[in-house]
Amino acid sequence: MNSTELLSALQWRYATKKFDASKKIGAEDWKILEQSLVLSPSSYGLQPWKFIVVQNPEIRSQLKAASWNQTQVTDASHYVVLATKEKITEQDVSDFIQLNSDVRGVPAEKLKGYHDLILADLVNGPRSAIIETWAQRQAYIAMGFIMETAAMMKIDTCPLEGLDPSAYDAILDLKGTGFKTVAAVALGYRHGEDGYAHAKKVRYPTEKVVQYL
């Protein structure tokens, strides 16, 4: 993809209001989009999230009712709910250090400094008081990653925060799992009649939002 194509993909992307319910994302394409979530970066690499791909039409209807009746919830090809951990525990940190040790072949003892650093920050430090917000921030990075990847693939998306997170938690049986709904992303193909597809982008001038020092 050259620079012109990259910029035009970014211009082409818009928050799709009306999806064509008859068009589905192919399995190969979906695998790439799924990996864009898995490969998203997170603070310390902790990945305090779960991505729930809701395929069941009945559950999608219930979620739509809990999302200001936005039609993207039911009409999009794929619907991903981003959920994050309510708490980060000592066990979470140990599991993560063990994963690092297994994947990179480094003895866990050698990672003790890293383990203690995370513990002192997220579990016992000042950030433990805002840990739910901290985890939610990580989810928004994944949201950005999947939307950007989709745009490069000419697949449409709509991020959704217009939803009732606690109603979602009940519908998705998240209560008691340690995870809570943050937001969602609908993915698929725009409907030919979505007027927003041709609306001009409303953005402040670059000089106003990008500062060089």
Ligand X SMILES: Cc1cc2nc3c(=O)[nH]c(=O)nc-3n(C[C@H](O)[C@H](O)[C@H](O)COP(=O)(O)O)c2cc1C
120-159 residues in contact with ligand X (CB under 6 A) are 158-159
List 31, 104, 200, 201, residue binding ligand X (CB under 6 A):
201
Structure tokens at 203: 């953005």
List 24, 162, 178, 194, residue binding ligand X (CB under 6 A):
162
Residues 79-111: b if buried by 16+ CB within 10 A, e if exposed: bbbbbbbeebeeebbeebbeebeeeeeeeeeeb
Structure tokens at 38: 């898995």
Task: Say whether residue 198 binds ligand X (CB under 6 A).
Answer: no
Structure tokens at 10: 């970014």
User: 31 or 200, CB closer to ligand X?
Assistant: 200
5-34 residues in contact with ligand X (CB under 6 A) are 14-15, 17
Minimum distance from residue 158 beta carbon to ligand X (Å) = 5
Give the separation between CA 131 and CA 88, rounded to whole angstroms. Answer: 7
Minimum distance from residue 8 beta carbon to ligand X (Å) = 14
Give the separation between CA 1 and CA 62, rounded to whole angstroms. Answer: 39
Task: Say whether residue 160 binds ligand X (CB under 6 A).
Answer: yes
List 90, 102, 116, 161, residue binding ligand X (CB under 6 A):
161
- In terms of Cβ atoms closer than 10 Å to its own Cβ (0-12, 13-18, 19+), residue 128 is middle
User: 115 or 191, CB closer to ligand X?
Assistant: 191
Task: Say whether residue 39 binds ligand X (CB under 6 A).
Answer: no
User: 159 or 165, CB closer to ligand X?
Assistant: 159
63-92 residues in contact with ligand X (CB under 6 A) are 70
Task: Say whether residue 167 binds ligand X (CB under 6 A).
Answer: no
Q: In what order do the strands lie in the sheet with 179-188?
A: 49-53, 78-85, 179-188, 156-160
Report CA-CA distances (Å) from 44 to 10, 134, 140, 172, 188.
Answer: 29, 12, 16, 28, 32
81 phi/psi in degrees, rounded to 5: -95, 130
- Which residue has the CB atom at the shortest distance from ligand X? 162
User: 41 or 125, CB closer to ligand X?
Assistant: 41
User: 162 or 178, CB closer to ligand X?
Assistant: 162
| Binding positions for ligand X, rule: CB under 6 A | 14-15, 17, 70, 158-162, 183, 201
